[in-house]
Chains A and B, each alone.
Chain A
Amino acid sequence: QSVLTQAPSASGTPGQRVTISCSGSSSNIGSNSVSWYQQLPGTAPKLLIYSSNQRPSGVPDRFSGSKSGTSASLAISGLQSEDEADYYCAAWDDSLRGPVFGGGTKLTVL
């Protein structure tokens, strides 16, 4: 059981916009920023979003993040087949004094 809650799966068609949500509590998302990671099949995770809405250099602007209260979202616009991957959210947890991850959302491009 992960501390942060994500839907196990999501899907969309090429060109569509999809949103992946991450729900937490006051001790994690409510008081700290969120990061998002993309894990392509058989590979290591890759940083997509940090500080809730910042993209590292090299990440396409099709990917965007937002946070409100104790929830966060990752939006992917202009969906492409290569976006098919697992997506994880993470945040520092003040109570646990360590980072916590969501259980991951498997995105399928139909």
Chain B
Amino acid sequence: EVQVVESGGGLVQPGGSLRLSCAVSGFTFNNYWMGWVRQAPGKGLEWVANIKQDGSEKYYVDSVKGRFTISRDNAKNSLYLQMNSLRAEDTAVYYCARVRRGPYYIDVWGKGTTVTVSS
């Protein structure tokens, strides 16, 4: 069974840091682009970042560039999102996603992990 399971969310103060993890099983992890999508409370979906199979290409939405870093460990079947200089507007549920490129779509979603940035 294909599964992606996020962890690492929590409450953090503005300016703080958090590292999200995503454990993958049921498919060959290093064959796929992966990404993070977030959803602020009561709001729609927003793409955050994508990473290529070998980690050689990484792309970010403008609002997180320079603050967030996406990475992966193919030996551990794991995806990560290092989030620094967190702001209140980063408060959201963060979903780990298996990404298809050419054409683009997301065919596997995790259940999400909640990040709350508040003092």
Contact = CB atoms under 8 A, between A and B. Distances in A.
Interface majority SS (helix, strand, loop, mixed), chain A: strand
A46 B44 contact: no
Contact of A90 (B50, B105, B110, B111): B105
Contacts of A98: 47, 50, 59-61
Interface stretch (A9-17, A19-27, A30-38): A30-38
A32 B95 contact: no
Nearest to B99: A99
A46 to B, nearest CB: 7
A81 interface: no
A92 B100 CA distance: 11
A37 B105 CA distance: 10
Contacts of A103: 44
Contact of A91 (B104, B111, B112): B104
Contacts of B89: none
Contact of B47 (A33, A37, A51, A99): A99
A92 B104 contact: yes
B106 A35 contact: yes
B103 interface: yes
B46 interface: yes
A68 interface: no
Given A97-B59, A98-B50, A47 B106 contact: yes
Contacts of B32: none
B45 interface: yes
B107 interface: yes
Contact of B109 (A46, A97, A99): A46
Interface in A32-90: 32-33, 35, 37, 43-47, 50-51, 56, 88, 90
Contacts of B100: 50
A14 B76 CA distance: 47
Interface of B: 37, 44-47, 50, 59-61, 95, 100, 103-107, 109-112
Given A44-B95, A98-B50, A102-B44, 4 more contacts: A33-B103, A88-B45, A98-B59, A103-B44
